[in-house]
Amino acid sequence: MAREDIAALIPHQGGMCLWEHIVEWDGTRVVLATSSHRSLDNPLRSNNRLRSVHLCEYGAQAMAVHGALRAAPGRAQPGMLVSLRSVTFACDYIDDLADELRVEALCLQSAESSQQYSFKITHAGEVVAEGRAAVLLKLPA
């Protein structure tokens, strides 16, 4: 699946849709790939650089993509990132990484009102960020 397919699943549009390809997925995990970290138009850039802390947004978007795929047909249920835990980074900046980024997001817990995932983002086979994230989902009225 390509970027436009991903954008149809999540609320992030335009440059804020950070992932470009769904590599594979099943009921418990998703693997995505992108080169958006190298884009000069990346909306997360500051002072012409992209800090590794923004990989948390990449991880959160992977969670949203997986949630929408699991709920298909449809879009990701709106949610709010409420917790990041045990997050580590292997570098300060990611805009100068030459190859694509890959994420593997693994669903640790999923309920009607919340989800928890672990995520691992790699570049050229090396881990550049990993951690856990929790999202509170907005329930329909």
- Answer yes or no: are the C-beta atoms of 128 and 97 closer than 8 Å: yes
User: What pLDDT sits at residue 86?
Assistant: 97
CA distance 36 to 82: 25
pLDDT, average across residues 115-129: 97
67-116 confidence digits (pLDDT tens): 989 987 766 678 889 999 999 999 999 999 999 999 999 999 999 889 99
Residue 66 is given by DSSP the state H
- Answer yes or no: are the C-beta atoms of 120 and 101 closer than 8 Å: no
Mean pLDDT score of the chain? 92
Confidence of residue 12 (pLDDT cuts 50, 70, 90): confident
User: What pLDDT sits at residue 141?
Assistant: 60
User: What pLDDT sits at residue 140?
Assistant: 61
Confidence of residue 139 (pLDDT cuts 50, 70, 90): low
31-75 confidence digits (pLDDT tens): 999 999 999 999 999 999 999 999 999 999 999 999 989 987 766
pLDDT over 90 (residue 9): no
Tokens encoding 117 = 């995932």
CATH architecture, domain 3-137: Roll (3.10)
Which amino acid is present at 108? Answer: L
User: What pLDDT sits at residue 100?
Assistant: 97
